[in-house]
Structure 1
Amino acid sequence: MTFADAQRSRSEDRRISPVFWVLLAVLATSAWAVTTGYGNVRFGVFLFVVSGWVVSLCLHEYAHARTALHGGDISVGAKGYLTLNPLKYTNVLFSFVLPIVMVILGGIGLPGGAVWIERHRIQGRLKHSLISAAGPLANVVFAAALLVPIGMGWIDAYSNPNLAAAMGFLGLLQISAALLNLLPVPGLDGYGIVEPWLSYKTRRSIEPFAPYGVLAVFALLWQPQVRAVFYDAVYGVMDLFGVSGAYASVGYALFRFWD
């Protein structure tokens, strides 16, 4: 392979996928429809939230991959992780289909884990922690992009109530995904942040339970008392942005257009 071929291959590995551009187009079009009242507004809110949620999942995984690339794992480009194409991730079912189903069924921002990082290429515990932290941070940034315009009064319940509600609900999903992912539970990014700092013996003793960590968390979330405490924390974060939880509640009601 010539140097020019290598450069071309690297450029293609990092070119944004047409699939992601389509997702952005759906997000923008549905936002316009909700704003103008074109068509069925509730279905427009549904499309806005679902497309925005999938875009955020892509950005979450991209953040992991990009940080891993700079940490030393150059294999992420060849795997297609830098193209923002959800079809390139290792498990589309658990990383995209299941999170979307959870949003539809219960309004829960289920974190998905999809990129396979070759950890042996990365040296230093801090780099490993940063790779795990990058995904939830992407959700926080996305939440800020949605909630700051509402909190600042640029989009509000008087000038554009439907869009404000849709953005509030999507913002709630981002916060819930970030908070869940930051739990130090095996299988979630929070555990990935602390794992490099644990002893080898501790890591080995926890390893057999890793496949069940996420299931245990969501089993607990289906308990009304635990769910109430969790959403109190989510609404508390929304309050920090100056956004009432009522926006998310109305947005969720609009999102369920089939009711």
Structure 2
Amino acid sequence: MTATTTRSPQRVSPVFLGLVAAMVVSGWAVWHGFGDLTGLAVFAFVVSGWVVSLCLHEYAHARLALHYGDLGVAARGYLTLNPLRYTHPLLSIGLPLLFVVMGGIGLPGGAVFIERGRIRGRLRHSLISAAGPLTNLVFALLLTAPFWLGWVDADTPAAARCALAFLAMLQMTAALLNSLPVPGLDGYGVLEPWLSPSVRRQVEPFAPFGLLVVFACLWVPEINTVFWDLVDWLMDLLGVTGWETRYGLEYFRFWQGQPQNVILPG
């Protein structure tokens, strides 16, 4: 008799563990600094941290859906935290990363398929949709904890505090943008169960374009200014200054050279 073993559909994926390891190792490199390679370390830290947050975002959706009755999320591999399980790798991971590189904006990227017919109750459907943005918000709070707890001071390496600030800012932008009541985003998912069937049918065709519409709106100067003023205000509440997030973006874009004469509050 031969015994066969299969991987549990809820066992954490080695891909996710590798991402966490990359985040930890690159974070250590950022803290200790390696001269001209510091920017590359910041890039690796932010990218790995961003994909980790994407996995946790989608895992939160799937875990709550499982709790409320959709047993299929486990079979589809959503509970393994493997980023390759969350729809198309290019659209779900590559495109959001491109947005990060282009404009320093954290846009939602992944998605999980949930069998809504298995879940009863409008409130439960809303909570499942809200779980993703709330995960980004919690991640932002954890990343900024050293700031609002007073652990960051003049002795903290500039690259380390700026990398943390920038990654936290990406989480904040993702939470805000994904909470908008726009078809295709989680904010609309929170609202959708409370709409009439006729309204939902009319809106449904626009869902694939919701993210693109939001991104296009951010190119409107007036909207862009209001959005970033809100982001800066929220980050300031968490003890992070605009200078720290901006220098974080400069470190992240290591191919443009290291930021010079970095002066941060003590």
Shorter-chain TM-score: what band? over 0.9
User: What is the deviation of 1:100?
Assistant: 0.7
CA contact (8 A) 2:54 2:110 kept: no
CA contact (8 A) 2:93 2:110 kept: no
Partners of 1:157 and 1:221 in 2: CA distance: 35
Q: Could you state the TM-score of these two structures normalised by the residue count of structure 2? A: 0.91
State the match for 2:18 in structure 1.
22
For 2:255, the aligned partner's letter is: W
Uncovered stretches (5+) of structure 2, i.e. residues with no partner = 257-266
Partners of 1:200 and 1:20 in 2: CA distance: 38
Partners of 1:135 and 1:212 in 2: CA distance: 19
CA contact (8 A) 1:157 1:164 kept: no
State the match for 1:253 in structure 2.
250
Partners of 2:154 and 2:49 in 1: CA distance: 20
Partners of 1:75 and 1:214 in 2: CA distance: 26
% identical equivalent positions = 59
Partners of 2:150 and 2:73 in 1: CA distance: 40
User: What is the deviation of 1:224?
Assistant: 2.4
User: What is the deviation of 1:157?
Assistant: 4.8
State the match for 2:87 in structure 1.
90
Partners of 1:45 and 1:157 in 2: CA distance: 19
Q: Equivalent residue of 1:104, what SS?
A: helix
User: What is the deviation of 1:151?
Assistant: 2.3
User: What is the deviation of 1:156?
Assistant: 3.7
Partners of 1:180 and 1:79 in 2: CA distance: 27
Which deviations, in whole Å up to 9, do the C-alpha atoms of 1:105-136 show, x marking residues without a partner?
11110111321111111110011000000000
Partners of 1:31 and 1:156 in 2: CA distance: 18
For 1:227, the aligned partner's letter is: N
Q: Equivalent residue of 2:187, what SS?
A: helix
State the match for 1:41 in structure 2.
38
- CA RMSD after TM alignment: 1.5
CA contact (8 A) 1:187 1:211 kept: yes
User: What is the deviation of 1:237?
Assistant: 1.1
1:146 is aligned to 2:143:
yes
Moved more, 133-142 or 227-236: 227-236
Q: Could you state the TM-score of these two structures normalised by the residue count of structure 1? A: 0.93
Uncovered stretches (5+) of structure 1, i.e. residues with no partner = none
Q: Equivalent residue of 2:55, what SS?
A: helix
CA contact (8 A) 1:92 1:114 kept: no
Partners of 2:50 and 2:83 in 1: CA distance: 12
Partners of 1:54 and 1:115 in 2: CA distance: 15
State the match for 1:13 in structure 2.
9
Match of 2:27 among 24, 31, 38: 31
Which deviations, in whole Å up to 9, do the C-alpha atoms of 1:58-109 show, x marking residues without a partner?
0000000001000110000111100000111222222111111110111110
Partners of 2:221 and 2:153 in 1: CA distance: 31
Partners of 2:133 and 2:254 in 1: CA distance: 29
Partners of 1:196 and 1:222 in 2: CA distance: 31
Partners of 1:86 and 1:155 in 2: CA distance: 32
State the match for 1:170 in structure 2.
167
CA contact (8 A) 1:20 1:84 kept: yes
Partners of 1:157 and 1:55 in 2: CA distance: 29
State the match for 1:160 in structure 2.
157
User: What is the deviation of 1:201?
Assistant: 1.4
1:75 is aligned to 2:36:
no
Q: Equivalent residue of 1:12, what SS?
A: coil
Call closer, same or farther: CA 1:157–1:53 in 2, change over 3 Å.
farther
